[in-house]
Every structure is written in C-alpha cells, then in structure tokens.
C-alpha cells in the first residue's frame, strides 16, 4: 500500500496547481481545470460512477454501495490547489528511507532540523518525503487527494468490505479562501463528510478560526520635502502608525493553540497612497468581534487625527468556527475517532489554526470535520510528509466507510 500511495502522490505533485489570489476567474488557474481532468481519469480507472467536473472545476464521483440495506452516505474531500506563497512548479520529491533522526539538508541552504522541528524525532526509522529545497512539496493537499484515491482503490479491490454509498469531492482554490464558493452541497448528496486536509498523524479537527480580512487604503499628501512642514501627510508613516496601535504580541509569530492574532500580509505604497492587507483570526466569537472593532476604532482615531477619509477600511468575514455546527453531530466525531483507533492511530483532537473547506461546508448544512494527512510545515520549502502516516490516513478513510456501512 505504501508504494502505491507514494506513486500516486508523486503523480499528483507533478502538476503545478498554485492558486492565484489576484485572479478574478474561478478556478483561479487553468492548471486547476487540467488537474481536475487528470483526477477524473484516475477515478474512471477505478470504475467509480457519476464522475462529473462542473464549470467551476469541482470534481465529484461516487463509489456505489455494495450492500442491500440503506445507510448514511459519507463523503471525503480534498483540495486540488497548492499555496501561492511558494513555488509549486517542477517539484522534485526526495525520499529519505529509514530516516535516521538527523538534519535533512536540501538545496538553497534549507535544513529541516530536529533541533528546530522536534517532531522529526518521532519519525526515526520511517520514510520521510520532502521537496528538494527549491519548491514546496504539495502535501497540502495532494497527500489528502492521494489518500482518498488509494482508499477508494483499496475498497474496490476488497469487495468483502461492505459499505454504503461514498461520495468523493475535489475542490480548487481552498488556499485563497474560495474553495467552496460555488460548491453544490445538495448535489453532493451526503449526510456528512470529512476533509482530508490536516497535518500531524492522528490530528482530528472540528474547531477552526473565525476569520476576517481587512484592507486599508491610506491617502497621504505629497509635497516637496523641503517645504513640507505642516503640509505633508506621509501615507507610509500613517500605515506604520496603524500597525503600532495593534497589540505587538498578537501576531502569528507569538501565538499558538487557541490564541488569535492579527496578521499583516502585505504592505505597499508610497507617500501619497499606501495599502495594507491583514487577516484577523480568533477561536472565540466574542473576541473575534472585539478584534474587528479594534480595527474600526483605530481607523476612526487616525481619521480624526489626519482628516476625514485619510484611512479607508474594507473589512469582512471569511468563515466561522465549525465547532458551532459539529458539536450538534457527535456521531460524526465518534466515527472518525473510532476509525483512527482501528488504524492503530492515537487521535489528537486539535484546533485548526487556519481555514478549511469543511468550515464553510458545515455552515452550509454538511457537517465536515478535518482529518490528518501526515504532513508538516506546509506552504514552504520545509514541507514534508511521512509515508507511514499517509498509510494510516488512508486506512482511517477505509475504516470510516466500513463503520458507516455497518450501520454503527
């Protein structure tokens, strides 16, 4: 199974499927449509039914039931895009068989060291896969896609495993927050589902950030600096002043677990006009609202100081904490936890410090918690995945299908 998983994963990461946050189209890249067509061909080889790619490049398919009695329909989803934060072109995977627990040295002076990443010691003797240091690896979320494909293959090769109807879904543009903008939950036709898009072995998440974006446009006044006294308004400095009024300890570099943050993603401009882009995150809805209100208060304060409409704030919600929904469906959690234990995995219930398609799907009526893939250090050259963990994720999927089919 491990060799099949590795081969499938390597096939998928050959495709450059970086999403494009600046694109107005959906999906954000033609490569995502090409990749959906490739995946559809893979699913066709497994003789799945009802394979469809819609105009938004959502790919869905059905593994038909092989039992006579009615049972719930379960779904599994993975996203097809990789992060635009780092190159996903010409990925060259490197396999570290029987990893010895020492530093992994890649190109461009990239060192994945247990001294910086202590979790590496957990994988001594196992098979670690990285890129070569020039790109990300693409395990987020092509590891999840490979695990779903191989789980379906396993089920088709083992007809003695009785199961109900299973739905498969692949979505583009998750990395830029648009993954399920046009996803038809009703047509997908599931009672519940799981995104296979987590990280460390055993991770199970049904709690994620409440999320918002905030875009600031700051209008300055540029005159000759030699005669600028009491006239010039430097938009760059006003932008810096805005940043200084946020709690300095509440950034991603200073927070963990269920602590929220403000994250400055981009700053560009000049004296005349400067733009800042933030994301705002918190697990608690009241604290989330307080964070957004702070942005409004700082905007008002600076406009009072520098003049009306000096700072223009565009802010909106992106997604919410799916715990509000999943807590109403304890059976969905119980099935996943049991499936992990059957695969020899100790579950770790962890909050997802990020977004997931499952969050938005849950609020659209499809309870959809998140299951591990076995990857670490996503979105950059330090990314890796552990083949043995991928195998455990694949068997977790198989065990979920088996449990649902048994009617438990």
Residues annotated catalytic, as ranges: 81, 174
Q: What are phi and psi of 383, to 5 degrees?
A: -65, 145
DSSP per position, 55-74: TT--EEEEE---SSS----E
> Could you give the angle at which helices 330-342 and 387-406 cross, rounded to 10 degrees?
130
Tokens of 164: 């109900």
Q: In what order do the strands lie in the sheet with 261-269?
A: 261-269, 273-282, 210-219, 311-319
Residue 252 and residue 333 in contact, taking contact as beta carbons nearer than 8 Å: no
Q: What are phi and psi of 117, to 5 degrees?
A: -125, 80
Residue 115 and residue 134 in contact, taking contact as beta carbons nearer than 8 Å: no
Task: Name the DSSP letter for residue 238.
Answer: H
H-helix or E-strand containing 105? strand 104-105
Tokens 């455990």: give the residue: 392
Task: Name the DSSP letter for residue 90.
Answer: S
Contacts of 219 (CB under 8 A, 6+ apart): 233, 235, 272, 273, 309, 310, 311, 312
Contacts of 305 (CB under 8 A, 6+ apart): none
């Amino acid at each position: 199974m491990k060799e099949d998983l590795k081969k499938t994963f390597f096939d998928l990461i050959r495709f450059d499927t970086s999403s494009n946050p600046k694109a107005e189209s959906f999906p954000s890249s033609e490569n995502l449509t090409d990749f959906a067509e490739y995946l559809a061909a893979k699913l066709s080889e497994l003789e799945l039914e009802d394979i469809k790619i819609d105009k938004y490049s959502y790919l869905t398919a059905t593994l038909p039931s092989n039992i006579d009695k009615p049972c719930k329909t379960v779904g599994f989803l993975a996203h097809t895009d990789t992060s635009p934060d780092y190159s996903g072109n010409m990925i060259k995977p490197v396999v570290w068989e029987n990893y010895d627990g020492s530093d992994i040295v890649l190109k461009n002076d990239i060192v994945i060291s247990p001294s910086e990443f202590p979790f590496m010691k957990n994988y001594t003797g196992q098979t670690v896969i990285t890129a070569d240091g020039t790109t990300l690896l693409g395990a987020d979320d092509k590891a999840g896609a490979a695990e779903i494909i191989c789980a379906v293959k396993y089920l088709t090769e083992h007809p003695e495993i009785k199961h109900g109807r299973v739905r498969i879904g692949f979505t583009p543009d998750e990395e830029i927050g648009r993954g399920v903008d046009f996803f038809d939950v009703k047509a997908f036709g599931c009672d519940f589902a799981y995104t296979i898009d987590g990280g460390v072995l055993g991770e199970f998440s049904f709690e994620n950030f409440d999320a918002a974006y905030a875009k600031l446009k700051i209008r300055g006044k540029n005159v000759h600096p030699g005669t600028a006294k009491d006239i010039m308004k430097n938009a760059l400095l006003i932008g810096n002043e805005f940043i200084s009024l946020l709690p300095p300890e509440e950034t991603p570099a200073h927070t963990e677990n269920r602590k929220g943050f403000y994250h400055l993603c981009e700053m560009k401009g000049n004296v005349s006009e400067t733009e800042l882009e933030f994301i705002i995150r918190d697990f608690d809805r009241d604290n989330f609202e307080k964070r957004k209100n702070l942005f409004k208060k700082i905007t008002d304060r600076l406009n009072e100081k520098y003049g009306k409409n000096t700072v223009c704030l565009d802010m909106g919600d992106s997604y919410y904490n799916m715990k509000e929904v999943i807590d109403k469906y304890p059976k969905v959690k119980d099935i996943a936890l049991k499936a992990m234990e059957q695969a020899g995995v100790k579950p770790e219930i962890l909050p997802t410090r990020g977004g997931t398609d499952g969050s938005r799907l849950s609020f659209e009526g499809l309870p959809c918690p998140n299951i591990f893939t076995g990857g670490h250090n996503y979105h950059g050259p330090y990314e890796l995945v552990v083949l043995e963990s991928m195998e455990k994720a694949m068997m977790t999927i198989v065990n979920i299908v088996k449990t649902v089919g048994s009617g438990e």
